[in-house]
Structures are given as structure tokens and as C-alpha cells.
Structure 1
Amino acid sequence: MTEIAVFTPDPTDPSYAGQWPSVLERLSQALAREGVTAVPTPWTEHVEDASALLDYPLVLPVVSWGYHRDHARWLQGCAAWERAGAPLANPASVLRWNSDKTYLGRLTERDVAIPPTLWRTDVTPSDLDDAFEQTGAETLIVKPTVSGGAWRTLKIARGDTPADPPPGSVMIQPFLPTIQTEGETSMLFFGGRFSHAVNKRPAAGDFRIQVQFNGIYTPIAPPGGALALAEQVLAAIEEPLLYARIDTVPDGDGRWRLMEAELIEPDFYLGHDPQGGAGFARAVRERLEAL
């Protein structure tokens, strides 16, 4: 068996303690069928000294949940891993820029469609008034540009004043009601190949689709427009990607919009993969053989 490292959360962060071990177990089972053993290691143990990572032919950051809570340290780690030449996939350069959602603005320069978005720092009531005016929306979504799992994400109706808006860099978008009626389509790619797709809808009365908020997940064949957008996004990203999850939603006019290109630590939804993660494991095996 070939041993590879898999980043896991900071052991002092209890936020995802009840979730990530089962995700790691599904990954490990898929890898084992390709003769690969996953060795878990907290990403926070390799920020100041990355030398231990050089003992492995490959390092997967795919369970490094919670990095957004300690972003400065994450960026420090990315620099250390890149400097040491640690064999991360996806590469440390991708882990750095993908950790801040302002990358979505750069993708629009390559004609990738995203919801109308305003970028602000330390958002004020005036900023929200401007956003309502510019977008014509009745409801806005406000979230930090460094975030994860709907952390500090707000849904704000016209006329409301949030009591505790997220500090620092934020993005403001109109709320797309289609997230409730049609859901978000997430597509998984491994080694550049499409693997499977999942439709995610919020529970009744909520707007968040994450499993911790009782989001409803259903395996689907992706609509043609969603898949075309996902392929456009991947073509616009020039770095080599071992894995990617592309999250999309149709707007009110039926145009597919990119919500996220998840390239760091996405849940692959292997429990909804008809192949049980075989595509992921095969991509890892191919990467090892190419080294």
C-alpha cells in the first residue's frame, strides 16, 4: 500500500468534530481499493515546518475544514508548503487564492457568469442600500469573502438592518429564489473528468443548503447548462487540479451562475456517487504513477 497524507482540521477546533471523520472514512475506503492508504494529519501541524510532508509522495488537503477561521495561518501554511515543495494536490498556489472568494470576480473577467456581486469592506447600512438599489433585489445575501459552511452568512430583506454584519471583506449578492425551488447543482471532477452530481436544497424555511442546516441532497444527472458552465470554469483555471467541485444555480431567467469553485476541502459527496469514489481514487492513483 502507498501511504499519502490527508489534511484534517485543527484538533483544537471542535466545529466539525462530528462530521469530518465520516468524510475521511469514505475517502479512505475509496483510496484503499486502489492500494492507497490515507494518513490523517492536522494541517495546523505543518504551518511553521513543512518538512514532514516531504515524507509522502502526495498530500491531499481535502479535509482541512475550518481554515477560514484562521485564515492568516492558512496563508502562512500555503507559503510554507509551496516554499518546501510539498507535493500538495491541489497545489498550494490554488489553496491560497481559492481561500478568498474574491477569485469569483477574477473569473468574471474570463466571462464566467456569477450572480451580480458587490465587494465591500466593513459593510455599512449605506452599502446595503446601494446594493438593493443596484440589484433591484428584495433580499440580499451578505457573507465574508473568507468563509465556509455558511459561516456568518446573512439573508437580509429590504428595510432590515442586520444587528451583526460580518466584519472585513464581504460580498453582497441578490438572493436567488431558485435556490429554494430548483436547488444548487454541485458537480464533481477528478483528474479533469466529470464524476457525479448532487442537487442540494435548503430545508423548509431556511436558505442554507449545508448538511448541518438539514439541507436535502439528491444525486442527479447535471443539466446541460450547469455542466457547460462547470467545464468553462475549469478551462479558465490554469493550474493543474486533481479535484474540483463546481457549485451552480440557475437565476430567474434560467441562466446558470457559478456560486463557488471549491478547490480546497469540498465534500465530494461520495455517499451519493454511484461509483463510490472510484473516479477520485483512480485520479489519485494516476497522479502517483505520474510522479
Structure 2
Amino acid sequence: MAKIVVLTPSPSDPSYSSQWPQVLERLKEALSPEGFEVSTSPWTDHVQSAEGLRDYDLILPLLTWGYYTDYADWCRACDLWEAEGLPVANPARTLRWNSDKAYLKGLRDAGIPMAATLFVDQATEQNVAEAFDALGTDVLIVKPTISAGAWRTLRIQRGDDLAAAMRDAPQGAAMIQAYLPSIETAGETSLLFFGGALSHVVNKRPGTEGEFRIQVQYGGRYQALPQPPQGALELAQQVLAQFDDDLLYARIDMTQTDDGQWVLMEAELVEPDFYLASDPKAGARFAAAVKARI
């Protein structure tokens, strides 16, 4: 029987304690028909030594939520797992690269369409004030390049008191983006791929009027779509073509501009929720990809 371990959050981080166990159960339910032995272990137990991971046929870092609050250890862990040749999927070098949203600069330079974005070493009142004109917008999104789940993500409007608006601004490298108001109406669409093949499509919208965050913890509403909207699959495939590593899974998040162009929000290759509760196949394609990988 193949042995799989799903890496989970640090026991000292309660941020997602009400969410990740539910996601874990859906992953286990998907893998159960294939007869895998599935265990769990906090990723923080494997920063200094790889011994606790050597007996597994596959290591899934799918619940390493909150790694961005302990990023130095996260990078050390990824380097260790790669050096030790552990069977991590996705590859450890991909995990480290994708965990800093600065990777989006490379995709943008390769021609992937995305919202107008400035990458800065630190978000300050001055560079945020200048960004309104630089990006040609009256509303900005400011977020850390190392983050997830809309952590420390701000929406700032021209004319706001910047001192007050940036009280919880990102510390360190950040992205300043032109806000796309379509996120409030059309939402964000995610295409899920397993073993390089499209599995399912989920649309995510804010749960309350005026909200721009679509995560569950902010009331986001998710709906499965029978097929990708026109143009969405083409963008996802364009993004996936940029990656050299053999990916077990990928979630490509995108939205539309006011003129209907699809633009990339994120290429989630580290610890994305697969939204298996919205998958008509309940994760069967994921399990088949895992079986093929092992």
C-alpha cells in the first residue's frame, strides 16, 4: 500500500484551524478509493531534518497554510527537501519559487496578461500615492509578495487618508495593483489541473456587497461551472506552458477586465484549496493523478 503524507500548518498557527481539517477530509475521501495510506504531519517538523519524511511514497504540501508567516523556515524546508531528493509534489524548488509572488513579474514579461502592477521593496505612502497616476486608476490593491488568503491585502482609493489606510500595510516587498472592479460582479474563476489535465472549474465571488475578497473566511461564495468560460482555458494553458517542472497539480486563478479580457491573478502551485466540494467528480481526477505519479 502506497504511503502518502499531507503536510499541515504549524501547530502554533491557529489562523486556519477551522478550515484546513475540512479540506483534509475531502482530500482523504478523494484518495480513499485508490487504497492509499494517508497520514498528516506539520511542515514545521521537517525544517531541520528530512528523516520523518523518508518513508513516504509521496509528500503533498497541500495544507502548509500560513507558511508565509514563517518564511525563512519555509525556504529552509524547501531547500532541504530538494537536496534530500524527497518525493514532494509539486517539486520543492517549485514550492519555494511559487511562494513569492515576485514570480508574476516573470510571467508578465513572458506575455501573460495581468492587472497593471508595480513591484516595490516596501509599500510606502509616497509610492502608493504615486501609483494612482502610474497605473491609471482611482483604486489600488496593495498586498505582500509573500502571503496567501488576502493576508494584509488592502484596497485604497484615491483621496483616502493614506496614513490611516496603510496602518496594516505589508511589511517588506509588496505589489501595488490597479483594482479590477469586475471582481465584485464577475468574481474570480479558478481552473484546476491534475497531471496537466483540466479537472474542474470554479467561480468565486464576494459574499457581501462592496467586498473584494473572495476567500471563504470573508464570506466568499463558490460555484462549479460546467466548462471554462470562453478564453479562460486558453489563458490557463498559456500560463502552464511557462513551467518546466512536472506538476502534479495547479490552480490557475483569473478574472476579467471591464472589456472582457481574461487576466491572470495567481498560478497557485504550493498549497491551493482544490475546491473538491465543488468538483462534480469529487477529486477522482486528483486521485488518478496521484496514482499515476506514485
Q: Normalised by the size of structure 2, how large is the TM-score?
A: 0.96
Match of 1:265 among 261, 267, 271: 271
Following the alignment from structure 1 to structure 2, what is the Cα–Cα distance between the partners of residues 14 and 117? 32
Residues 163, 248 of structure 1: CA spacing in aligned structure 2 closer, same or farther, 3 A cutoff?
closer
Following the alignment from structure 2 to structure 1, what is the Cα–Cα distance between the partners of residues 66 and 38? 20
User: What corresponds to 1:176 in structure 2?
Assistant: 180
Match of 2:217 among 181, 195, 212: 212
What is the identity, as a one-letter code, of the residue corresponding to 2:101? Answer: K
Give deviations 1:241-271, integer Å, cap 9, x for gaps: 0000000001112111100000010000000
Following the alignment from structure 1 to structure 2, what is the Cα–Cα distance between the partners of residues 212 and 72? 26
Following the alignment from structure 2 to structure 1, what is the Cα–Cα distance between the partners of residues 153 and 55? 39
What is the identity, as a one-letter code, of the residue corresponding to 1:147? Answer: S
3-state DSSP class of the match of 1:186? strand
Task: Say how many residue pairs are matched.
Answer: 288
3-state DSSP class of the match of 1:271? helix
Structure 1 position 185 matched with structure 2 position 189: yes
User: What corresponds to 2:259 in structure 1?
Assistant: 253
Question: What is the correspondence of 1:193-204 to structure 2 with a 5 Å cutoff?
Answer: 193-203=197-207, 204=209
Q: CA deviation at 1:38?
A: 1.6
What is the identity, as a one-letter code, of the residue corresponding to 1:192? Answer: G
User: What corresponds to 1:39 in structure 2?
Assistant: 39
3-state DSSP class of the match of 1:173? strand
Q: CA deviation at 1:79?
A: 0.6
User: What corresponds to 1:234 in structure 2?
Assistant: 240
Q: CA deviation at 1:224?
A: 2.4
Following the alignment from structure 2 to structure 1, what is the Cα–Cα distance between the partners of residues 214 and 102? 21
8 Å CA contact 2:125, 2:166 repeated in 1: no
8 Å CA contact 2:184, 2:210 repeated in 1: no
What is the identity, as a one-letter code, of the residue corresponding to 1:237? Answer: F
Following the alignment from structure 1 to structure 2, what is the Cα–Cα distance between the partners of residues 191 and 104? 22
Structure 2 stretches of 5 or more lacking a match? none
What is the identity, as a one-letter code, of the residue corresponding to 1:191? Answer: G
Following the alignment from structure 2 to structure 1, what is the Cα–Cα distance between the partners of residues 191 and 204? 11
Q: CA deviation at 1:83?
A: 0.9
Q: CA deviation at 1:35?
A: 1.4
Query: RMSD of the alignment, in Å?
Result: 0.9
> Following TM superposition, where does structure 1 have runs of at least 4 consecutive aligned residues deviating by more than 6 angstroms?
none
User: What corresponds to 1:91 in structure 2?
Assistant: 91
Question: What is the correspondence of 1:105-124 to structure 2 with a 5 Å cutoff?
Answer: 105-124=105-124
Q: Normalised by the size of structure 1, how large is the TM-score?
A: 0.97
Following the alignment from structure 1 to structure 2, what is the Cα–Cα distance between the partners of residues 130 and 141? 13
What is the identity, as a one-letter code, of the residue corresponding to 2:184? Answer: Q
Q: CA deviation at 1:14?
A: 0.5
Q: CA deviation at 1:138?
A: 1.0
3-state DSSP class of the match of 2:201? strand
Following the alignment from structure 1 to structure 2, what is the Cα–Cα distance between the partners of residues 159 and 167? 23
Q: CA deviation at 1:130?
A: 1.7
What is the identity, as a one-letter code, of the residue corresponding to 1:241? Answer: L
